[in-house]
Amino acid sequence: MNVRRMALVTALVGGSSVLITVATAGGAYAHGSMQNPPSRSWLCYQDRPESPSLAACKAAVATGGKQALYDWHEVNIANAAGRHRSIIPDGRLCSAGRDKYKGLDLARADWPVTRLPASGRHTFTFRATAPHKGSLELYVTKDGYDPAKPLKWSDLEAEPFHVATEPRLANGAYVMEATLPKGKRGRHLIYTIWQRSDSPEAFYACSDVRFGEGGSTGPTAPPAPTPTPAPSPSGPGGGGNGGGHDHGGGHGDHGGGHGGGGHGGGGNGGGPGGGNGGSGGSTDAAAVLRNITAGVGVQPAKARREGLVTVTAVCGGSKVTKVVSPAFAKQTNAAPVPTTAWFPPLMVGAKTRAGRYPVTVHCANGGVARTTLTVTG
């Protein structure tokens, strides 16, 4: 049976992330992956599986196909039951031993990294598209780790540097305040295991990081983003990322199909930015999407005059201050209290002409993101 599910779009800034949430049709099952620092599957999903710009993501698609990235939240083993080291072979940790995700195992030095300080506290988040009871374990690689070699269990420290049992769920993500592992410098990988307690199922994520850069434990405010031109009202047409791709695929462990529906909806808050950062030839994950510091989505993506639309506005490492669109009866809608996430319904103006209109979220740190709403008359 097909149901509506939530599709998540994020952008990375200074190791933090922001999201857009839009409803799409598809299978009932979706689970999660590491959001901060981002997993390889999460990051490559943002790099657009149909036409990735990052060399590592291009290689992942060439090796494992596009569907693996559309199913970024399903790197799982249904019957793991804590037997992670015995059932996932060396060299296959990032894919959880599944051929579908073998592109995530590619041994490459150009996987984008998230910069982390060498010590102190850091807020880790795990995006849970379907929350479950359980615990998260965060492991880090040993000194001397080489991303150009296949990842083995022996590359990881024997014990996790952080364990969170039933962590706090906020805005669709598990939030973990953790002390960073001691003595780590330079390029490393954080390996996350989410073991459910209400099922033997477990999920796995590989996040590429660089310790000792950035100088603080929290997200840093990026430079003011380069504004993107706001679309002007035009004739009726599809919203944001409309067009709907049927990505087929299936959740091999649940027997449900992920066909149908579309990957359309309320558009996204911008596109990947270029830029290489860090040292040693690696790409800074924050630089990949450095011009985006906020996300906004509207549902439905098309609405009639005086119709209600649900606005999803999220600021990573900052606060939503207002949502603006000439399509709304009240064009500027300020948050009563600045918040990191805001999901209010807003009304399309009674005199709004048919066409496409920009919807913009503003963050306290200067971040801006836009999507579009189509008014049908």
What's the whole-number mean pLDDT along residues 44-61?
Answer: 89
Residue 123 has pLDDT above 70, yes or no: yes
pLDDT category at 341 given cuts 50, 70, 90 is: low
Q: Distance between CA atoms of 374 and 363, rounded to whole angstroms?
A: 23
SS (H, E, C) 19-31: EEEEEEEECCCCC
Across the range 351-376, mean pLDDT stands at 86
Backbone angles phi, psi at 148, to 5 degrees: -85, 5
Q: How confident is the model at residue 310 (pLDDT cuts 50, 70, 90)?
A: confident
Q: How would residue 353 be classed by pLDDT, with cut points 50, 70 and 90?
A: very high
Q: What is the DSSP string of 62-124?
A: HHH-SHHHHTTT--EETT-TT-HHHHS-TT-TTTTT-GGGGGGG---TTS-BEEE-SSSEEEE
In this prediction, residue 286 has a pLDDT band, given cuts at 50, 70 and 90, of low
| 331 vs 300, more confident | 331
Q: 188 or 255: which carries more pLDDT confidence?
A: 188
* 32 compared with 4, residue with greater pLDDT: 32
Confidence of residue 354 (pLDDT cuts 50, 70, 90): very high
Mean pLDDT for 56-64 is 96
On whether the CB atoms of residues 140 and 90 are closer than 8 A, the answer is no
pLDDT at residue number 281 = 47
CATH number of 1-29+226-377, picked from 2.60.40.1930, 3.40.50.150, 3.40.50.1980, 2.60.40.10: 2.60.40.1930
Distance from the Cα of residue 79 to its chain's centroid: 26
State the pLDDT at residue 360. Answer: 86
Residue 129's SS3 state is coil
Residues 41-51: tens digit of each pLDDT? 988 987 878 88
Residue 86 backbone dihedrals phi, psi, to 5 degrees: -90, -20
Using 50, 70 and 90 to split pLDDT, how confident is the model at 277? very low
Mean pLDDT of the chain: 74
Residue 256: strand pairing partners: 251
Is the pLDDT at 166 greater than 80? The verdict is yes
Buried b (16+ CB within 10 A) or exposed e, 105-123: bbeeebbbbbbbbbeeebe
Q: What is the pLDDT of residue 285?
A: 59
The string of DSSP letters for 343-354 reads: --EEEBPTTPPS
Evaluate if residue 192 carries a pLDDT over 80: yes
pLDDT at 131: 73
**pLDDT for res 160:** 98
Alpha-helix residue ranges (DSSP H) falling in the chain:
40-46, 55-64, 67-70, 84-87, 285-288
Question: Within 13 Å and on the Cβ side, how many CA atoms surround 57?
Answer: 27
- Give the whole-angstrom CA distance, residue 377 versus residue 371: 19
Predicted confidence at residue 289, as pLDDT, reads: 43
Query: Between the CA of residue 289 and those of 15, 209, 222, 375, what are the distances in Å?
Result: 11, 16, 11, 29
Side-chain half-sphere CA neighbours of 72 within 13 A: 31
Percent of the chain, pLDDT > 90?
A: 40
Confidence (pLDDT) at 190: 98
Q: Say whether pTM exceeds 0.85.
A: no
Q: Number of H helices and number of E strands within the chain?
A: 5, 23
Q: pLDDT tens-digit profile of 252-263?
A: 333 333 333 333
Q: What is 31-40+66-211's CATH number? A: 2.70.50.50
User: Which residue in 181, 249, 237 sits closest to 209, CA to CA?
Assistant: 181
In this structure, of 158-167, 254-263, 294-303, 314-323, the range with the lowest mean pLDDT score is 254-263
Task: Give the percent of the chain with pLDDT over 70.
Answer: 67
Question: What Å distances lie between residue 147 and 30, 93, 94, 116, CA to CA?
Answer: 29, 13, 12, 17
Neighbours of 217 (CB within 10 A): 18
Of 122 and 300, more confident: 122
**What per-residue confidence (pLDDT) applies to 283?**
61
Provide the 10 A C-beta neighbour count for residue 331. Answer: 14
Per the model's pLDDT, the better-predicted residue between 143 and 340 turns out to be: 143
Residue extents of the structural domains in the chain? 1-29+226-377, 31-40+66-211
